[in-house]
Amino acid sequence: MKKKFIILFIFLPVIAFSQDRISLIGNVFDGISFFPVAEANIYNFNTKKYNFTNKEGNFEIISKVGDTIIVSKPAYKQILIVVTQEMFDKKQDIALFYKAIVLKEVRVYALPATYSEFKKEFVSVNFSDITKLMESTSLREEDRMRKLSNNNLLDLIPGKVGQAIGHPISFLYDTFSRKAKMERLYQEMVENEKEAERLPQKYNRDLVTSITGLEGEDLLDFMTFCKFSYYDLVRWTPEFIVTQINKKFGDYEYYKALEDN
């Protein structure tokens, strides 16, 4: 009897440990496309241990109740999860959303409304105006004069020396108009910052499944068909998001029926 008691006492710490820390299993996916996020970092802040998701977005990490799990990947907002007992009962689904990217300062150029007007204004620019453009550069005088005598106007643009790609007027128009669009986009995202924070509640996999009834591979196939953008979803109201899902699902079922026939 004494021997049995000793054996039981020896194995008690092992049993207690196994109940203390067990594997937490989950799946990480993109909150917009619902596609798996591979190589996301799964870090247990308490044990300092970490793991990565596989190509299907699945992960497994040893943890216990009360541990803090940090899920992160570049370009996404990191997620902090406090482990509860219920989490060990089923696989955890974790959605990652893109974080707001602070753009570098962008200078906005007042451009004519159309390309034709831009071209007319550009060709009327005096040579002295182009010289003024060069004044802000750090070139030596002889280098500056050499560039002014060069026939390739693209050489006058810092960072584009010797790159004769397309017509200079078209290149300048595309470059400056793109900068203006970036500035406008940034301003809109700043104004909609609160809506961006609400996006996981406005739009998620459970919502799409409840509307369409789709799950698994069928759900991913539908999301590939939808191609909703982060920018649009941030600006749309919850009611309009539901309307768009229903509209897309109607189109999806129509095209699926055509494929089956």
What are 122-135's pLDDT values in tens digits?
556 555 554 554 45
Residues of the chain with CATH 2.60.40.1120: 2-96
* Single-letter amino acid code for the residue at 94: I
- The domain 2-96 belongs to what CATH superfamily? Carboxypeptidase-like, regulatory domain (2.60.40.1120)
Which SS3 state, helix, strand or coil, does residue 225 take? helix
Query: pTM, whole model, 2 decimals?
Result: 0.59
pLDDT confidence of residue 9 = 45
Residue 252 has pLDDT above 60, yes or no: yes
**What share of the chain has pLDDT > 90, as a percent?**
42
Residue 8 has pLDDT above 50, yes or no: no
Average pLDDT, integer, range 241-254:
95
The 10 Å Cβ neighbour count of residue 94 is: 19
Radius of gyration of the CA atoms of the chain, in A: 29
The 10 Å Cβ neighbour count of residue 157 is: 15
**What share of the chain has pLDDT > 70, as a percent?**
57
Positive or negative: CA dihedral 25, 42, 22, 95: negative
How far is it, in rounded angstroms, from Cα 95 to Cα 205?
9
